Chains A and B, each alone.
Chain A
Amino acid sequence: MQLEHTDLEDGIRMIRLKGRMDLEGSESVDLKLTSLVAVRKGFVIVDLAEVEFLSSIGVSVIVRVARALSSREGRLVLLRPRPNVADVLTRTQIDQIIPVFGDLTAAKSALMGTA
């Protein structure tokens, strides 16, 4: 699984994940993802557009990093999940506690609105 990040001009960190977020994929990005959100008052968008599959292991990684960020007064939102990935977020009710957006502008506004 691949991970890349960009720091946007408004202080938001954009993390793009690519590949299958199954047991193997989640383990391969866990450490890097955790270190990329290890900031105080960080605002992070995790772009899921290129994530072709998400399992409960991937969900637990996302919940863990979102919680860690929240405990440091930051916030994480999810962007553009594919239908099968969005299904998993809905079925686990994770979309009730981590906001999911279909477009970047809405995701940015939500984060900046809480700044």
Chain B
Amino acid sequence: MISRTFAADHSAPRAATAWLRSQALGLSEARFSDAELCVDELVTNVVRYAWPEGETHAVTLSLARSASEVEITLEDDGRPFDPNDAPGPPAPRSLEEAVPGGRGLMLVRAIAPRLRYERRDGRNRTTIAFPVES
């Protein structure tokens, strides 16, 4: 397993996805796009909501590859938050009624084949996994 820690500021989603791209994950292009989007959304969510405004924190990304899948774990010491529980906005029926935000975790739940959350030792651990090409 390899991991990298990023300062939890507004540059973190880009830094995290750039690091992900630099790793030989063995995912197809389409699967990599899905993984990249999920990591971006999860890191963005942590950066924006995990801590009170103005505090300095970090978020750690870990990668583990088995013969069948790539597992990506995001860890932070922010407030307890299970991404499985966050409701997304209803499907928009018209532009006038559309809620602009709130679709990030909805995307992650729709895309990630596996999404697991646990709270351990005061830290959030969110794991997503994607199958590698056989």
The answer to whether the Cβ of B76 comes within 8 Å of any Cβ in the partner chain is: no
Question: What is the size, in residues, of chain B's interface with A at 8 Å between Cβ atoms?
Answer: 30
**Do residues A60 and B13 form an inter-chain contact, with CB atoms below 8 A?**
no
**Do residues A59 and B13 form an inter-chain contact, with CB atoms below 8 A?**
no
Question: Which residue of chain A is the closest to B93 with respect to CB atoms?
Answer: A97
A-contact 0/1 string along B58-99, CB 8 Å cutoff:
000000000000000000000000000000000111111011
Name A53's contact: one of B40, B47, B93, B106 (CB within 8 Å).
Answer: B40
**Do residues A23 and B10 form an inter-chain contact, with CB atoms below 8 A?**
yes
**Do residues A92 and B13 form an inter-chain contact, with CB atoms below 8 A?**
no
Cα separation A48 to B99 with both chains bound (whole Å): 21
The answer to whether the Cβ of A96 comes within 8 Å of any Cβ in the partner chain is: yes
B-contact 0/1 string along A16-58, CB 8 Å cutoff:
0000101111010000000000000000000000000101110
Query: Which residues on A sit within 8 Å (CB–CB) of B102?
Result: 56, 60
Query: Which residues on A sit within 8 Å (CB–CB) of B37?
Result: 53, 55, 84, 88
Question: Which residue of chain A is the closest to B12 with respect to CB atoms?
Answer: A23
**How near does chain A come to B33, taking the closest CB pair, in angstroms?**
4
A-contact 0/1 string along B32-50, CB 8 Å cutoff:
0100110011001001100
Cα separation A98 to B92 with both chains bound (whole Å): 10
The answer to whether the Cβ of A94 comes within 8 Å of any Cβ in the partner chain is: yes
Given A20-B14, A60-B100; A55-B33 close (CB under 8 Å): no
The answer to whether the Cβ of A64 comes within 8 Å of any Cβ in the partner chain is: yes
Q: Which of B113-133 contact A (CB under 8 A)?
A: none
The answer to whether the Cβ of B104 comes within 8 Å of any Cβ in the partner chain is: yes
Q: A22-B14, A60-B103, A97-B93 are in contact. List 7 more A-B contacts (CB 8 A).
A: A23-B48, A24-B10, A24-B13, A27-B10, A63-B99, A64-B100, A67-B98
Instruction: List, sorted by A's number, 17 A–B pairs whose CB atoms are closer than 8 Å.
Output: A23-B48, A56-B102, A56-B103, A56-B107, A57-B101, A59-B103, A60-B103, A61-B100, A63-B99, A88-B37, A91-B110, A92-B107, A94-B98, A96-B92, A97-B92, A97-B93, A97-B95
